[in-house]
């Protein structure tokens, strides 16, 4: 069944897009991430321009994150105080990201920047997460005791605040900075940033795994809602028809993914997530090499005109 997308300016198979939304929603709920790192490339691969894909996927990420966050809230696996501090930086970063998105689009460099950013970010983060998850899995099978986590210089910063649900005492400075970075990257690349946020919260900020996923989903939910509204108002690139189809599939898939994620051990989750991120990064690199370099410019001019 073909359906014409008015903003993307091309027909798509409804069932294909719906299935993509459900699959990415499942991944989102399982790993506690927005899923944009997977959905945006998938849309680009089926012919939708990067600019429209980034702007439209934000709403899908928000819907999937809402569904998943609701499940974690019911299990009291969200730290409201930590989420609030993250959001103070996340909303600011999102606004800055949309501004940078608009400037890059005006210069005709947006599509190429999106492609390069995906290749560099996903292959780097995916490799690091996969190697760490593999080491953790090997330690578990050998019965070795995991290395004890020690506080780093970040925990010596001023303006500390006690986050009761996570049972940590931490400066708000790095938390706000992390929120700004995640919001900025998410607005430009069409990703929730959970696959970056979760490792940072676990390994840098030392936030317990029990509250990391749910809290990251709250940040993703709000920042992607803000990104959707700003993209719609400033760039007029949000395809409502595409976003609606993705949201329907995403909300459904996220519920099943959140349940599945509770049945898999932490090191296995990190290993699988790292492998998934790395695979998408490599696939994007192959796509970038195979296609002519000027294809991105042609696509961008087609959207801008």
Per-residue pLDDT of the chain (305 residues; tens, 9 = 90+): 787 787 777 888 888 888 888 887 777 666 666 677 778 888 887 888 888 888 888 877 777 677 677 777 887 878 888 889 999 999 999 999 999 988 888 888 877 788 788 788 778 877 877 777 677 777 777 765 555 555 566 767 778 888 887 888 888 898 899 999 999 988 888 777 777 888 788 878 888 877 887 888 888 888 888 888 888 888 788 888 888 888 787 777 777 776 766 666 666 666 777 777 777 778 777 766 666 444 444 444 444 43
Taking each helix axis as running N to C, give the angle between helix 80-106 and helix 110-142, from 0 to 180 degrees, rounded to the nearest 10.
Answer: 140
How many Cα atoms are found within 13 Å in the side-chain-facing hemisphere of 187?
32
Write the DSSP string, 196-238: HHHHHHHHTS---HHHHHHHHHHHHHHHHHHHHHHHHHHT---
Residue 168: phi, psi to the nearest 5? Answer: -130, 155
* Whole-number Å distance between alpha carbons of 294 and 256: 41
* Whole-number Å distance between alpha carbons of 18 and 187: 23
CA 247 to chain centre: 15
CB 179 within 8 A of CB 93: yes
Helix, strand, or coil here: 11? Answer: strand
CB 216 within 8 A of CB 201: yes
* Max Cα distance, the chain (Å): 61
* Whole-number Å distance between alpha carbons of 37 and 140: 29
Say how many residues make up the chain: 305
Q: Locate tokens 């919260």: which residue?
A: 201
Q: Which residues contact 125 (CB under 8 A, 6 or more apart)?
A: 195, 196, 199, 274, 277
* Whole-number Å distance between alpha carbons of 167 and 234: 41
CB 250 within 8 A of CB 67: yes
Question: Residue 131 is inside which H or E element, if any?
Answer: helix 110-142
Q: 223-235: string of b/e by CB count within 10 Å (b at 16+)?
A: bbbbbbebbbeeb
* Whole-number Å distance between alpha carbons of 205 and 128: 17
**Beta strands 2-5; 160-163: pairing state:** unpaired
Q: What's the confidence (pLDDT) of residue 202?
A: 80
Q: What's the confidence (pLDDT) of residue 240?
A: 82
Ramachandran region, residue 10 (left: φ > 0; alpha: ψ -120 to 50; beta: rest) = beta
Show the tokens assigned to 117.
């950013």
* Whole-number Å distance between alpha carbons of 60 and 245: 9
Q: Locate tokens 């780093």: which residue?
A: 152
Q: Locate tokens 């329907």: which residue?
A: 248
DSSP state of 40: H
Taking each helix axis as running N to C, give the angle between helix 209-234 and helix 172-189, from 0 to 180 degrees, rounded to the nearest 10.
Answer: 50
């Amino acid at each position: 069944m073909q359906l014409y997308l008015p903003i993307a300016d091309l027909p798509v198979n409804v069932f294909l897009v719906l299935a993509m939304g459900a699959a990415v929603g499942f991944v989102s709920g399982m790993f506690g991430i927005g899923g944009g790192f997977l959905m945006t490339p998938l849309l680009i691969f089926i012919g939708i321009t990067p600019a429209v894909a980034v702007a439209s996927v934000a709403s899908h990420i928000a819907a999937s994150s809402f569904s998943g966050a609701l499940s974690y809230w019911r299990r009291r696996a969200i730290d409201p105080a930590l989420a609030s501090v993250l959001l103070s930086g996340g909303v600011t970063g999102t606004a800055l990201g949309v501004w940078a998105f608009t400037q890059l689009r005006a210069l005709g460099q947006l599509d190429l920047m999106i492609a390069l950013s995906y290749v560099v970010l996903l292959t780097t983060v995916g490799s690091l997460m996969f190697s760490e998850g593999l080491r953790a899995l090997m330690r578990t099978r050998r019965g070795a005791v995991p290395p004890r986590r020690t506080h780093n210089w970040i925990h010596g910063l001023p303006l500390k605040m006690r986050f009761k649900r996570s049972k940590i005492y931490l400066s708000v400075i790095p938390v706000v900075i992390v929120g700004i970075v995640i919001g900025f990257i998410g607005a430009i690349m069409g990703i929730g940033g959970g696959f970056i946020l979760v490792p940072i919260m676990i390994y840098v900020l030392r936030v317990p795994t029990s509250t990391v996923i749910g809290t990251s989903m709250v940040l993703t939910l709000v920042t992607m809602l803000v990104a959707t509204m700003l993209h719609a108002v400033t760039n007029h690139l949000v395809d409502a028809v595409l976003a609606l189809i993705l949201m329907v599939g995403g909300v459904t898939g996220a519920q099943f993914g959140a349940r599945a994620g509770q049945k898999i051990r932490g090191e296995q989750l990190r290993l699988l997530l790292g492998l998934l991120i790395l695979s998408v990064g490599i696939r994007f690199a192959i796509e970038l090499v195979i296609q002519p370099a000027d294809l991105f410019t042609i696509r961008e001019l087609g959207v801008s005109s």
